[in-house]
Structure formats: structure tokens, C-alpha cells
Amino acid sequence: MQQLAAELEQAQVGDVRVGEPLAKHTTWKIGGPADLFIVPETQEELATSLRILNRHGVPWTTLGRGSNTLVSDKGVRGAVIKLGGGFDFVVFDGETVRAGASYSFVKLSVVAGKEGLTGLEFAGGIPGSVGGAVYMNAGAHGSDVSCILKSADIVWEDGTLERCGKEEMGFAYRHSKLQERRGIVTEASFQLKSGDRKEIAAALATYKDRRRRTQPLQMACAGSVFRNPPNDHAARLIEAAGLKGAREGAAEVSLLHANFIVNHGGAKAEDVLTLIHRVQSTVEDRYGIRLVPEVLLMGER
């Protein structure tokens, strides 16, 4: 990996690190080292990185702002790509907003509201990056990315760049075609509408207060662990199964919100996985419903 790291550095693809601890880059504060950790600052640096990795047959994965992700205690073999500050931007043009993939999705909802633009209020409670939100078709409060996306710029695995319109993204519940075809979102454009700044601010404040009261955001966590099954809520099923407060090591099913697992300090990925499997088996045994994890599992098992 040292030789490959040297080649990447010579190609000037951004910051390149060997053996970077990924616990530093996840909201769960969990994760072993990445063989290679690459932080490109431009689309061309990203495309060059992918071409070099593919030429050497080195597997790669991406990491956004580190929410919604559980990294193995053993780390990640191959390369982890995290978009750098060059992708952390926002530009307004009338009722359209263009944001870089590493820009905070929560922050985007706030700045759009201050511009008097409505449509992103649902994002006020969704941690993570714009790129991650597009990848997952993130949503809340009856809306999601597919409702407002205009286009997404994607660098595909072979290093080619494509701008995809909403209709080309294959959106479904917490799904996009990026979960089927390997590529990395670099920026996205959203079509919003003019609205009343006070009403938008009030809606965002309501959502923020609800999150503060009902979610353990002051603790190391990763957002919702399971997808909601049709016509039900994962949190309701988990709580009804008596699993609030269930623990494995320093990992615990939150007493505040049953669809969150919190790290009390020093929890391992295996602790979290054990809890995930316990929740799945208990809920399935009692209610016949198999909960599907929403968090992404990354790394060597």
C-alpha cells in the first residue's frame, strides 16, 4: 500500500494517508483503520484516484460525514475515499440550489430557509452529507430527496463524469441507482420554491425541538438504525418488544428513541452488530416482521 500511496501522491489526487483510523470519521466513533484513505478536492482528483485504484485492482468505498455507517473493528481493506473541502459549497440561483456532495444536509436546509426557499425543511433532522442523502434518497416528515432533486453530478467507477436528472436516479424508498452501479456523487442541484422565511424557520425549529426531545443526539450515534417497515415504525416495534435499554458492551438501544443505538464510550462494531441481530430476531419472533438495517456496514468482517 505504501507504493500505491506514493503513486497517488505523485498524481496529486489530494490528501493520501495509510492506516487512517476510521473511528475519527464516523459519528458512532467506531471503526478500525483504512488501508488507504484518500481525500480528493476536485472532480478530476477523484476521477484520477478511481482510475489508479481500478488499474491496480484495489477495492474502494466512500465515506461521507460518517453518519449512517458502521465500520468494522478490523477496518477496511483497500481504499476509503472521503470528499474534501472542495466539495463543501452551496450556490443559489433563483429557486435552484446547487450544493457540493460533502456539504452538510442539515446546514443546507437552514441556509435555504434563510434564502426564503421552501422544500428542504424535511432535511433539518437528517445527519450526513448532500452526497449521502442523494445516495440513500434520504427523507423524513413525508418528503425525501426524490421530491426536490433536479440533477446529480456523478463520477462513475471508470472515472467518467455524468450529470443525471431525477428521472435517471432510480429513486425508491431509501434507494437510488447508486446502490446498484458504483459511482460517487460530487454535487447536486435541488429545485425549491419561494416561501415565507418565518414559516420555514418555524417549521425547522419545530423539527429541531422534536429531535432534541426524542433523539439521543448528544451521544455518539448514527441516526436511525432500521428502515421503517410498511405501515409501521421500527421504533414502535423495538420498544413494544421490550428492547429499549438492551446493551452489548458499551452499545445500547437508546432509552430515548428505540431506533437508535448509542455508544457510551468504547463500543465496538461487533457490539453494535450483536444488538442489531438481537433486535431483528426478537422483533421477527414476536411480530413476524424482519427489520432491515438502514445503516451501511463497511469493512472486513
Q: Find the radius of gyration of the CA atoms of the chain.
A: 19
Beta-carbon count within 10 A of 73 CB: 17
Asked if 54 contacts 158 with a C-beta cutoff of 8 angstroms, the reply is yes
* Residue 17 is among the residues annotated as catalytic for this protein: no
Closest residue by Cα to residue 235 from 219, 214, 265, 221: 214
Angle at 186 between CA 161 and CA 54, to 5 degrees: 55
Q: How many CB atoms lie within 10 A of CB 59?
A: 11
CB 20 within 8 A of CB 12: no
Cα 82 to Cα 139: distance, rounded to the nearest angstrom? 23
CA distance 251 to 124: 26
129 is catalytic: no
Residue 294 appears among annotated catalytic residues: yes
Question: Of the listed 174, 189, 248, 254, which one is catalytic?
Answer: 174
As given in the structure block, the three cell numbers for residue 139 are: 427523507
Residues found in the chain:
301
Q: What is the DSSP letter of 227?
A: P
* E strands present in 63-137: 69-71, 76-81, 90-93, 96-100, 117-118
Catalytic residue among 20, 121, 187, 294: 294
Q: Which of 109, 189, 224, 254 is catalytic?
A: 224
Cell 460533502 belongs to which residue? Answer: 102
Cα–Cα distance between 112 and 32 in angstroms, integer?
36
Active centre residues (catalytic):
174, 224, 294
